[in-house]
Amino acid sequence: DIQMTQSPSSLSASVGDRVTITCRASQTISNYLNWYQQKPGKAPNLLMYGASSLQSGVPSRFSGSGSGTDFTLTISSLQPEDFATYFCQQSYTTPHTFGQGTKLEIK
């Protein structure tokens, strides 16, 4: 199975900050990398697919990059509603494994 490792596991930031979360795959996954946001008690919400494509309806302050094994999710200017947990997921081969998550908290 492909292992997905996110860093950091948690992060404290302030409204207006620029934040970057990284995700590393244990083997190459081309650009088959998705990012999700999850708030407590809710289902995850797709933010990015194909490493850098913004899902419809997602604000443009979210962006993604990377290919191969190393990927990043960037939030250009944090808004209060962005404090949540973020997961990466590879869809290159089954099982479509997830990273362990990054909890973004208010500083």
Partner 1 sequence: QVQLVQSGAEVKKPGSSVKVSCTASGGTFSRYSFSWVRQAPGQGLEWVGRIIPVLNITNYAQKFQGRVTITADKSTSTAFMELSSLRSEDTAVYYCAREMFVDHGTYYTFYYGLDVWGQGTTVTVSS
Which residues sit at the interface with partner 1, rule CB under 8 A?
A: 1, 32, 34, 36, 38, 43-46, 48-50, 55, 87, 89, 91, 94-101
The smaller minimum CB distance to partner 1, of residues 17 and 96, is found at: 96
Min CB(16)–partner 1 separation in Å: 28
The smaller minimum CB distance to partner 1, of residues 62 and 87, is found at: 87
100 φ/ψ angles, rounded to the nearest 5 degrees: -80, -10
Min CB(74)–partner 1 separation in Å: 17
The smaller minimum CB distance to partner 1, of residues 17 and 74, is found at: 74
3-state secondary structure the chain: CCCEEEECCEEEECCCCCEEEEEEECCCCCCCEEEEEECCCCCCEEEEECCCEECCCCCCCEEEEEECCEEEEEECCCCHHHCCEEEEEECCCCCCCECCCEEEEEC
19 φ/ψ angles, rounded to the nearest 5 degrees: -130, 140
Min CB(87)–partner 1 separation in Å: 6
Min CB(91)–partner 1 separation in Å: 4
The smaller minimum CB distance to partner 1, of residues 10 and 77, is found at: 10
